Amino acid sequence: METRDIKEAVKTGKVKLYQLEEYIFEHLFNSDAEQFKQAVETAENIRAEIMEEKLGATLDKIKDSDKYKEKDFINTSKLKEGEVVKGTELKIGTAKIPLSVAGPVSIKLDVLDEAKEFYMPIATNEAALVAGLNRGFKAINKTLEHAKTNNIKSQFTTGITYNGMTRAPLLEADDIESAQKFAEKINKGKYDELFRRVVKENAQYSTFMDANAYQVQNKIWLRLRFNTGEAMGMNSAVKYTTAIMKELLNENKYPENKQIKLITLSGNLCCDKKAAMINITEGRGYKAETSIIIPAEILKEVFDVTAEKIIKLNFWKNHVGSSLAGSVTGMNANAANTIAAIFTATGQDIAQVVESATCFTFAAPVPEDCGHGKGALKFSVTLPCLEIGTIGGGTGFGTAKEAFKIIFAPLYKEIEKQKQEENKETMIDDLDKYINNEKTNNPKSTIFAKLIAISVLAQELNLLAVLSHEYALCNCHMKLARGEGSIKDK
């Protein structure tokens, strides 16, 4: 048997992608324990090659191919105007985390005429995470196929609101009265045109959105908000805030602000890398929400669970349990797991998982007269402060860059399809131009946010279903992580 035979076995459905390690170890290496490591590496490489062929993407760095083994590293350094910009300091190499792929989940985005299969790269050391995510995707796929077959509205929706990136400098006045008057000017928009002009002078793509002042004693926090385009935008927000403060506090230009002093560029009201209620109520980054109605028969088939069990567990665990623990941002089962794995795979600022994993998970019954039958479940998640970008930071380096090829592969293929159909070069010659047909802020990051929200929903649904089965959580982790059997009753 050769690798091409194994690929053919996968294509014909004889072997599932997740079964490659066992299949190759047995059939290619005759279960020889001394060749186990090679069998696993072969499985990973074949799986990556299959994904390349399916998606039409090149994943040489993810495969760690011979082409890159000798000299590849994540090069955050660059040469700018003759000076070395290191990016990150004192580098000694690259940290590696296992990278898997979850999916497909077959969904229709606004820029597509029909549903396409999307995959999500997942970087994690945790067993069962990808398996659980795929089980959730399976439920979504079956639900959407059921709706299509039975000609009923699927009730699967995903909405995105861009809330902007914030920075909150802390200022000080001579006294309370002066602080109150300054804050009032900010909140009435007296300096909005100034802020807008300063950002325009210092930015290529970003724009000023708004500013709000919060005053306590003689201190004033300004929560400045910017649209930073496809970038997550934290560095940009700092840059624009600096420029704004230098202009606003220039006593020659604005003598009325002579006695206002800058204490710090960040006064923690932003609120960056901390769980905070202000990010829930006012937003930061993207607000991403998704909801689906799943028929009872699909809940039974995929999870062997009823809507009633999911609803009960979600209320007492995710809402009451979290409230008793004093959580204000964790009304969910494990949203941080999915988001951290996606952030790691795609070069996001991993520390921002703290606020980005703020998630409210909802489960509710569905009336029988809605067309979904008896016992259907409405399942939803809301992520009020998802801080992501598709450019900047670590998104353009190493395997993260290829991870985005995986995410956007269906869109790239659609572009090629349109070119071939028209048999000529079209105006739609790259991803940016193609998805900009969608009338929305930051279209690539908007699509990314939608796919993250759908992934979180899938994982939340799966974990609640697992937890509804008493000891199943322990048993599946012991099996997938340690190869151990179930814990026996004594």
Residues carrying an active site annotation: 126, 273, 349, 477
* Chain CA centroid to CA 203, Å: 25
What is the spatial distance between Cα 157 and Cα 163, in angstroms, rounded to a whole number?
19
Ranges of H-type helices in 349-388: 353-356
Pairing of strands 285-294, 157-167: antiparallel
Asked whether the beta carbons of 296 and 373 are under 8 A apart, the reply is: yes
Q: How many CB atoms lie within 10 A of CB 48?
A: 19
- DSSP character string of 440-458: SSSHHHHHHHHHHHHHHHH
SS3 content of the chain, % helix, strand, coil (to 5): 45, 20, 35
Asked whether the beta carbons of 346 and 397 are under 8 A apart, the reply is: no
Sign of CA dihedral 413, 417, 423, 424: negative
Asked whether the beta carbons of 414 and 431 are under 8 A apart, the reply is: no
Give the total residue count for the chain.
Answer: 490
302 Cβ contact partners less than 8 Å away, ≥ 6 residues apart: 135, 138, 139, 142, 465
What is the spatial distance between Cα 462 and Cα 455, in angstroms, rounded to a whole number?
11
Amino acid at site 44: E
In the block, tokens 């590849």 appear at: 72
Pairing of strands 359-365, 377-386: antiparallel
Distances (CA, A) of 309 to 29, 46, 361, 459: 45, 40, 15, 17
What is the SS3 assignment for 218?
coil
In the block, tokens 């928009």 appear at: 189
Q: How far apart are the first and last CA of the chain?
A: 46
- Residue 380 bridge partners (DSSP): 291, 362
Task: Compute the C-alpha angle 325/328/332, nearest 5°.
Answer: 80
